[in-house]
Chains A and B, each alone.
Chain A
Amino acid sequence: MKRSLTTIIYLLITLTVFLIAVIPGCSHNASLIPEDAIRESRLPAIAPDYTDIVIPPSIAPMNFVIREEGKKYVVAIYSVHGDTISIATDNPAIEIPIESWHNLLDVNKGETLSIDVGVESTDGSWRRFETITNTISDDDIDSYVMYRRLKPLHNYWRTMRIMERNITSFDESLVFGNAGIDHGCCNCHTTLGNNPETMLIHTRSSLGAAMLLVRNGKVAGVNSRTPFKAPIAYSSIHPSGKWVAFSVNRVKQYFHAAGDEVREVIDLDSSLGLYSVETNELLAISPELTLRDRLETYPAWSPDGKYLYYCSAALPWSEEEKNVADTDITLPPGYKNIRYDLMRIPFNSGDATWGTPEVLVSSEVTGKSITQPKVSPDSRFVVFSMADYGCFPTYQPSCDLYMLNVETGEYLPLPSNSDRCDSWHSWSTNGRWLIFSSKRSDGIFARLYFVHCDSEGKTGKAFVLPQKNPAMYDSFLDTYNVPEFSIAPVAVTNKDFASANAALEDINGIDVAVTTATPQAPKADDIRKQ
Chain B
Amino acid sequence: MHGRWSQSLQRYSRNILFFAALLCALVYAVDPRIIYHGYGIHGRGLIPFPAFFKGADFFGSHLLYPGGLLDYATAFCTQLLYFRYAGSLLILLGLILLSRLSRSIAQAPSGFMPSTYIPALLVFAGFAQYSNEFTSLIGLVLSLAVLWLYRLISARFPRFEIPVFALLFAALYYTAGVFSLIFGAMCVLFDLLNNKRYVAAPVMAILSAALYYIGDTILFDHVFGDDITRLFPWYGHEVDYRMAVYAGWALYLYYPVMLIVYRLRRPTSFDNAVSVSEKSCPGAQKSKTSSFIWRRITLAECALIRDSLLIVAAVAMVYYAAYDEKWGSLLKINSYARQGRYDDLLAAAKKIPLKNYNTFVNHEVNKALYFKGELATKMFDYPQNVKGFVSAAYTYMDMIPRMDTYCRLGFINHAERQAFEALEMFGEYPAVLKYLVYIKAAKGDSQAARVFLNVLKKDIIHGKWAKETEAAMDKDPSLGGDPFVAQIRAVMNTTDYSRFLHPLEDRVADLVNQNKNNEMAYEYLMSLFLLTKHVDKIGEILEQTGVSAATPPPRYYREALFIDKAMKKEPLDAGNSLIGRDTFASGTRYLELLQRFGRNVDAAKIALAPEFGDSYFYYFSFSFSGAKR
Q: Which residue of B lies closest to A329 (CB)?
A: B500
- B451 interface neighbour in A151, A257, A444, Cβ under 8 Å: A444
Q: Which residues of the other chain, A, contact B421 by a CB distance below 8 angstroms?
A: 154-156
Interface assignment of B414: CB less than 8 Å from any CB of chain A: yes
Contact pattern, A 470-496, Cβ under 8 Å of B = 1, otherwise 0: 001011110000000000000001110
0/1 string, A254-277, CB within 8 A of B gives 1 = 111111101100000000000000
Given contacts A255-B413, A255-B414, contact A442 B448 (CB under 8 A): yes
Instruction: For the complex, give the distance between the alpha carbons of A258 and B499 in Å.
Output: 10
Whether B57 sits at the interface, judged by CB under 8 Å, is: yes
B423 on interface, CB distance cutoff 8 Å = yes
A262–B417 contact, CB under 8 A? Answer: yes
Report chain A residues within 8 Å CB of B493. 257-258
Contact present for A443 and B447 (CB under 8 Å) = yes
Cross-chain contact of A151 among B414, B423, B443, B458 (Cβ < 8 A):
B423
Residue A7, interface by CB 8 Å: no
* Given A257-B493, A258-B412; A474-B445 close (CB under 8 Å): no
Tell whether A80 is near chain B: CB-to-CB under 8 Å.
Answer: no
Sample 15 A-B pairs with CB under 8 A, ordered by A number: A151-B424, A154-B424, A155-B417, A158-B48, A256-B498, A258-B493, A262-B417, A329-B500, A331-B498, A442-B445, A443-B445, A443-B447, A444-B440, A445-B451, A493-B221
Q: Which residue of A lies closest to B451 (CB)?
A: A442
B428 at interface (Cβ–Cβ under 8 A)?
yes
A241 to B455, CA, bound (A): 45
> Which chain B residues (442-482) contact chain A, with CB distance < 8 Å?
443, 445, 447-448, 450-452, 454-455, 457-458
Task: Give the complex CA separation of A493 and B425 in angstroms.
Answer: 26
A152 part of interface (Cβ distance < 8 Å): yes
A-B pairs with beta carbons under 8 A, tally: 104
B417 near A255 (CB under 8 angstroms)? Answer: yes
A154, B413: Cβ atoms closer than 8 Å? no
Across-interface contacts of B457 in A (CB, < 8 A):
475
For B413, the chain A residues whose CB sits under 8 A away are 255-259, 262
Contact A477 B498 (CB under 8 A): no
Within the complex, the shortest CB–CB distance from B56 to chain A, in Å, comes to 9
Q: Does A330 count as interface, using CB distance less than 8 angstroms?
A: yes
* Cα-based distance from A210 to B205 in the complex (angstroms): 41
B445 touches A469 (CB 8 A): no
**Top 7 A-B pairs ranked by shortest CB distance?**
A475-B454, A442-B447, A442-B448, A258-B496, A475-B455, A330-B498, A151-B424
Whether the pair B445, A257 counts as a contact (CB closer than 8 A) is: no
Q: Digit string of B330-346 for contact with A (CB within 8 Å is 1, else 0)?
A: 00000000000000000
Q: Please state if A474 and B414 are interface contacts (CB–CB under 8 Å).
A: no
Task: Verify if A441 is at the interface (C-beta below 8 Å from B).
Answer: yes
Instruction: Contact check, A257 vs B411: say whether CB atoms are below 8 A apart.
Output: yes
A154 and B496 contact, CB distance less than 8 A: no
Residue numbers in A under 8 Å from B48 (CB-CB): 158
- Chain B interface size, as a band, is 35 or more
Q: A493 contacts which chain B residues (CB < 8 A)?
A: 221
A residues near B (Cβ < 8 Å) are 151-159, 180, 254-260, 262-263, 328-331, 441-445, 469, 472, 474-477, 493-495, 498
Contact of B498 with A443 in the complex, beta carbons under 8 Å: no
Closest A residue, CB atoms, query B510: A257
Q: Is the CB–CB distance between A255 and B499 below 8 Å?
A: yes
Hey, which chain A residues are within 8 Å of B443, CB to CB?
Answer: 260
Given A442-B445, A443-B445, A495-B223, A474 contacting B417 (CB threshold 8 A): no
Given contacts A256-B498, A258-B495, 5 further A-B pairs with CB under 8 A are A158-B48, A255-B499, A258-B492, A442-B451, A445-B448
Closest to A160 in B: B424
The answer to whether B448 touches A443, judged by C-beta atoms less than 8 angstroms apart, is: yes
Q: State A444–B450 Cα separation when bound (angstroms).
A: 12
The reply to whether A153 and B495 form a contact with Cβ atoms under 8 Å apart is no
CA distance A258 to B450 in the complex (A): 21
**Given contacts A259-B496, A443-B445, A444-B448, A477 and B417 within 8 Å (CB-CB):** no
A494 — which chain B residues lie within 8 A by C-beta? 221
CB-CB nearest in chain B for A498: B223
Docked Cα-Cα span, A220 to B423, in Å, equals 34
The answer to whether B1 has its CB under 8 Å from any CB of chain A is no
A151, A329, A469, A474: the one within 8 Å of B498 (CB): A329
**Interchain CB contact under 8 A, A330 and B500:** yes
**Which chain B positions have C-beta within 8 A of A155?**
396, 417, 421
> Closest residue to A264 on the B side, CB-wise?
B498
Interface centre among A256, A258, A331 (most CB of B within 10 A): A258
A257 & B496 in contact (Cβ 8 Å cutoff): yes
Q: Judge whether A254 and B498 touch: CB under 8 Å.
A: yes
Interface flag for B46 (CB, 8 Å): yes
Contact B450 A442 (CB under 8 A): yes
Q: Is B494 an interface residue (CB 8 A)?
A: yes
Query: With A and B bound together, what is the CA distance between A149 and B46 in angstroms?
Result: 21
- Please tell me if the beta carbons of B416 and A262 are within 8 angstroms of each other in the complex: yes
Inter-chain CA distance A363–B455, complex, in Å, is 42
Q: For A474, give its contact among B221, B424, B450, B507 (CB under 8 Å).
A: B450
Q: Which of A156, A257, A259, A263 has the most CB of B within 10 A?
A: A257
Contacts of B396 in A (CB 8 A): 155-156
Cα-based distance from A445 to B450 in the complex (angstroms): 12
A residues less than 8 Å from B411 (CB atoms): 257
CA distance A469 to B57 in the complex (A): 8
Cβ of A156 and Cβ of B496 under 8 Å apart? Answer: no
Interface contact B445-A260, CB-CB below 8 Å: yes
- A contact residues around B452 at 8 Å (CB): 477
Q: Give the distance in Å from the alpha carbon of A256 to the alpha carbon of B492 in the complex.
A: 13
In the assembled complex, which residues on chain B have CB atoms less than 8 Å from the CB atom of A151?
420, 423-424
Give the nearest-CB partner of A150 in chain B: B424
Q: Which residue of B lies closest to A157 (CB)?
A: B424
Whether B497 sits at the interface, judged by CB under 8 Å, is yes
Q: Which residues of B contact A495 (CB under 8 A)?
A: 223
Instruction: Tell me if B412 and A475 are in contact (CB < 8 A).
Output: no
A152 touches B420 (CB 8 A): yes
CA A498 to CA B223, docked complex, whole Å: 11
Chain A nearest CB, measured from B371 CB (Å): 25
Q: Which residues of B contact A159 (CB under 8 A)?
A: 424
Q: Counting CB contacts under 8 A, is B606 at the interface?
A: no
In this complex, the member of A157, A329, A444 whose beta carbon has the largest number of chain B beta carbons within 10 angstroms is A444
What are the residues of chain A within 8 A of B494 when measuring CB–CB?
258
- Give the CA-CA distance A274 to B609 in the complex, in Å: 70
Could you tell me the distance between the alpha carbons of A472 and B494 in the complex, rounded to whole angstroms? 34
A-facing residues in B478-535 (Cβ within 8 Å): 492-501, 507
Q: Which residues of B contact A263 (CB under 8 A)?
A: 417
Quick one: which of A259, A330, A443, A476 contacts B501, CB cutoff 8 A? A330
Give CA–CA (A494, B448) in the complex, Å.
33
Most chain B CB neighbours (cut-off 10 Å) among A254, A256, A330: A256
Residues from chain B with Cβ under 8 Å of A445 in the complex: 448, 451
Q: Bound state CA distance, A260 and B416, in angstroms?
A: 10
Residue pair A475, B498 in contact (C-beta under 8 Å): no
**A474 and B447 in contact (CB under 8 A), knowing A158-B46, A259-B496, A329-B498?**
no
**Nearest Cβ in chain A — how far from B258, in angstroms?**
36
Q: Do A441 and B223 touch across chains, with their CB atoms under 8 A apart?
A: no
| A264–chain B nearest beta-carbon distance, Å | 9
User: In whole angstroms, how far apart are the Cα atoms of A163 and B249 in the complex?
Assistant: 38
Looking across the interface, which residue of chain B has its beta carbon closest to that of A151?
B424
Pair B500/A474 contact, Cβ less than 8 Å: no
Within 8 A of A (CB), among B425-447: 425, 428, 440, 443, 445, 447
Set of chain A residues within 8 Å of B492, measured between Cβ atoms: 258
Bound-state Cα–Cα, A354 to B488, Å: 57
CB distance B451 to A477 under 8 Å?
A: yes
* B458/A475 in contact, CB under 8 A: yes
Q: Across the interface, name the chain B residue whose C-beta is closest to A152.
A: B420
Task: For the complex, give the distance between the alpha carbons of A445 and B445 in Å.
Answer: 12
Q: Mark B384-424, 1 if CB is under 8 A from A, else 0.
A: 00000000000010000000000000011110110011011
Q: Are B451 and A475 in contact (CB under 8 A)?
A: yes
Q: In the complex, what distance in Å separates the CA atom of A255 from the CA atom of B493?
A: 14
Is there contact, CB below 8 Å, between B498 and A257?
A: yes
User: Measured between alpha carbons, how far is A526 from B226 in the docked complex, in Å?
Assistant: 57
Closest partner residue, chain A, to B454 (CB atom): A475
